[in-house]
Amino acid sequence: MDPFEQKSLEFLVELTRIIRNMQMYNDAHPIVRAGVQQSHRMLNEILRQQPSLSFGKGEGVLLVQNKQITEKNPAADRFVQMLAERNVSGVVIKQGVPLSELEAFIKLMSTKPDQVVVDGQIKKELLRPFNKIAVNEIKYLMVGEEEDLESLTEARKFFNAIFTEEFKGLKGPDALKKIGLVLQKIMPKLAEMNFENGQEELWEFFEKSVASFGGGGIRDTRQGLLTTVKTMAPDVQKVLFGQVIRSPQQLEAVLKKFSDERKATILMEEASGGAELDKALEALLKSRGEIVQLAEALMKKFGGDEKGGGDFDRIFQLIQKTEVGDVQIKERGLIMVAEPKEEYLTQYRELCKRLNFVVEAVASGRELLAKVRTMQKKPDLIIMEVKLAELTALEILAAFDMERIRVPIILCTDILSVKNSFEVQMYPKLKFLPKPFNVGDLIAAIDELCPKVEEQEEKKKAPTPEAAMSEEMKAELNKAREIQRNLMPRQFPQTPGYELHAFYKPYDEIGGDYYDVIALGPDHVGMLIADVSGHGISGAMVMVMVRSAIRTWAHTTTSPKDLLSKVNPIIARDILPGLFVTMYYMVLDMPNKTLTASCAGHNPAVFWKYKDKACAFTKKGGMPLGILAGPAFEATLREEVIKLEQGDRVILYTDGMVETMNPEGEEFTEERFCVEVNKIAMQRSDVCVKHLVQAVTTYQATAPQHDDLTLVTIRCLKS
């Protein structure tokens, strides 16, 4: 940021502070008077360097002198919000601006938005005091979140100039009516200029013009489109839409053609107004597969906004509900927890609730025993520490045995010696876990002792294959297939000196695995593999959310641990009850030949060293995503650096590869997997993947497939 931009930003930060003070007090208050004078001095100092200062909002970003302010600044974000609330897109302040005029602008910005804007326009009487300050005389129409006016293509610069010239002073319906006339006027000139990507730029100009003058939610956008199209010549419509709009249905198709970013903004407008979001979602989507791109746009625009978190949550929950249906998820039962340490008690509570259990905590061993004795319906599971007040766990086990109480128990403690005690060994349904426990082991123990109930009422299964399914079932199946197709990468980024390949085969029509490869700049590539604890449409929708979160934040860091820490709160906040996600994520530093990796409850990767001609597993660890948020999750993460040499290979896989069973019910195992890797690791990556998949399916023989099969591998070719 150059010195002028820095001073301008400091001025706007000060201006924001004064506006807030004026909202709290009044224009005569000493603090406000002193602030106005201070900001006027700062402004005059800036204007001594330049004849004028211009600022405004682009697509949700602050622009100063046509340049985007990329530095994260809460005050700048707040100022952009103030501008948006008062329908101010741009402001120019010229040299010689008097103190009274700056004070009038501060009053304008501190007045409640509904008292400033009427029918989409600022009240004319509020603009009369201005001479050296021009409000809304500049437009930043074509500026996106990652660019400034100077970086625009020639076509976009042309359209931006046209917008500024043609729509000066126009607002609302008057401006909307003129859009078609402007397009008709400039089309011959466009043909002469022959801009690269001219058609795309023309559509963007149309979309942003409609959004600027008739934006908001679905209703306002529809009305804006209708007003514009009514005054648009047929030849202009054909160029823009490929047809002449003659019916409301055709107008709906125009709405569905809007960009993902615009659709995301419309949805958030609908959410903030408490509208029926399912209807809005239906109106915006051409196909269910578009949910993936829309979710990414939502995550990018609003996912990290704590203030808008409520509306953001509503939309994400709706997206999941739209695909999964209004499922009544049954509670899995009651878990009683006896744990003296608050840290562990919190983890148990949150994890068990995430797995859809009711949780009841007890303060002592005596209270636990007394409650269980008197309960007509016993708890489905007890999780307890050995060292409990008044009665120890071993005493409770002895009492249960004498009284023939048969409640499944998970004994979780750091006193490892009790594992071999008579009470523990003789209790019929007990799992022993050492502290600090591995979350994956705890979940597995819970699932073993409390088998999952169906999450919804059993549906009648079609007696014949898909051809005999009901039309509704076919439609639901196709929705999920379309969503999942859009999740997987269509092509990999360029990785000179390295060789990548992947394979994915779902267990049933819709699987719960996901993999991705993401370019993180010229030198780094992110690779991940993930497994959601569910299949079908619900699993596909969770993966939409996971992919959106990952792709939104991946470019902000080359630290896998940091990325997992950033995306987990979003996933934990919005994931469906009873679901979680395991993930292994690594970042390739191509020039330095290193892989930095972090594991969130997933299978460790296989690292095959060319020099040793042998396999090794990377470090295990980490808690699955979506169970706990904050320090409890982050404390489980580790980061590992793998140094690559020529010929070395790393393989990411999901548990379906090693847990596939043969007809006798025996698993393929990690040991067999490594044997096969040793046989083929020196070959090309596509050959390697094909061999490993064939080895697993050959072992499976006639046994049914019970899980997804997913592999991602990378081999270093650089010496």
Report the CATH number that the domain containing residue 710 is assigned in CATH. 3.60.40.10
Is residue 301 one of the residues assigned to a domain? no
Q: What is the CATH number of the domain that holds 354?
A: 3.40.50.2300
Q: Domain range spanning residue 69?
A: 3-135
Domain end among 107, 135, 163? 135
Give pLDDT, residue 106.
Answer: 94
List the single range of 158-172, 192-206, 346-360, 412-426 with lowest mean pLDDT.
Answer: 158-172
DSSP letters for 155-207: HHHHHHHHHHHHTTT--HHHHHHHHHHHHHHHHHHHHHHT-TTHHHHHHHHHH
Whether residue 603 lies inside any domain: the answer is yes
User: Are 167 and 40 found together in one domain?
Assistant: no
Look at 307 and 239; give whichever has higher pLDDT.
239
Residue 473: the pLDDT is 60
Rounded to a whole number of angstroms, the distance between the first and last alpha carbons of the chain is 40
CA torsion through residues 119, 120, 124, 126, sign? positive
Is residue 57 in some structural domain? yes
State which of 104, 135, 166 marks the end of a domain.
135
> What average pLDDT does range 535-550 have in this prediction?
79
Alpha-carbon gap, residue 240 to 206, rounded angstroms = 9
In a domain, 409, yes or no: yes
Co-location of 530 and 646 in the same domain: yes
Residue with more model confidence, 283 or 97: 97
Q: Are residues 216 and 337 in the same domain?
A: no
Q: Are residues 490 and 623 both part of a single domain?
A: yes
pLDDT tens readout for residues 325-344: 444 446 788 999 999 999 89
The per-residue pLDDT for 476 is 60
C-alpha R_g of the chain: 31
Q: What is the Cα–Cα distance from 491 to 493, expressed in whole angstroms?
A: 7
* pLDDT value at 24 more than 90: no
Whether residue 322 is predicted with pLDDT greater than 70 in this model: the reply is no
Q: Is residue 635 part of a domain?
A: yes
Q: What are phi and psi of 194, to 5 degrees?
A: 50, 55
In DSSP terms, 367 is beta-bridged to: none
Query: What's the whole-number mean pLDDT along residues 582-596?
Result: 96
> Which is more confidently placed, 270 or 656?
656
Where a domain ends, among 258, 289, 313? 258
Cα 384 to its chain centre, rounded Å, is: 36
Residue 121 and residue 174 share a domain:
no
Which H helix or E strand runs over 312?
helix 309-324
Q: 273 versus 78: which is more confidently predicted?
A: 78
- Counting beta carbons within 10 angstroms of the beta carbon of residue 309, is it exposed (0 to 12), middle (13 to 18) or buried (19 or more)? middle
CB burial string 472-483: b at 16+ within 10 A, e below: eeeebbebbbbb
Answer yes or no: is 471 within a domain. Answer: no
- Overall domain count for the chain: 4
Q: What share of the chain is helix, strand, coil (3-state, %, to 5)?
A: 50, 15, 35
Per-residue confidence at 443, pLDDT binned at 50, 70, 90?
A: confident
Whether the pLDDT of residue 561 is over 60: the answer is yes
Q: Which is more confident, 511 or 259?
A: 259
- Alpha carbon 636 to chain centroid distance? 22
DSSP H helices, 94-171, are 99-110, 113-116, 124-127, 154-166
3-state secondary structure of 67: strand
Are the C-beta atoms of residues 688 and 680 closer than 8 Å to each other?
A: yes
Q: Are residues 163 and 224 in the same domain?
A: yes
Residues 232 and 158 in one domain: yes
More confident residue, 473 or 422: 422
Q: How far is CA 640 from CA 304, 398, 648, 685, in A?
A: 27, 45, 16, 23
364 φ, ψ (degrees, to nearest 5): -150, 165
Sorting pLDDT into bands at 50, 70 and 90, what band is 274?
Answer: low
Q: pTM higher than 0.85 for the full model?
A: no
Q: Are 566 and 553 in contact (CB under 8 A)?
A: yes
**pLDDT score at 328:** 46
pLDDT of 308 above 60: no
Indicate whether 351 pLDDT > 60. yes
| 512 and 397 part of one domain | no
CA 127 to CA 137: how far, in whole Å? 12
Say if residue 426 is in the same domain as residue 518. Answer: no
Does residue 51 have a cis peptide bond before it, meaning omega lies within 30 degrees of 0? Answer: no
Which pLDDT score is estimated for 409?
95
Q: Answer yes or no: do 126 and 193 share one domain.
A: no
Contact at 8 Å (CB) between 268 and 315? yes
| H helix and E strand count, the chain | 28, 22
> Which of the pair, 464 or 515, is modelled with greater confidence?
515
Report yes or no on 84 lying in a domain.
yes
Q: Which residue has the tokens 């903030």?
A: 272
Mark whether 553 and 421 lie in a shared domain: no
Q: Average of pLDDT values for 702-711?
A: 84
In a domain, 468, yes or no: no
Do both 116 and 19 map to the same domain?
A: yes
Amino acid in position 698: T
Q: Considering only the C-alpha atoms of the chain, give the largest distance between any 2 of them, rounded to a whole number of Å.
A: 94
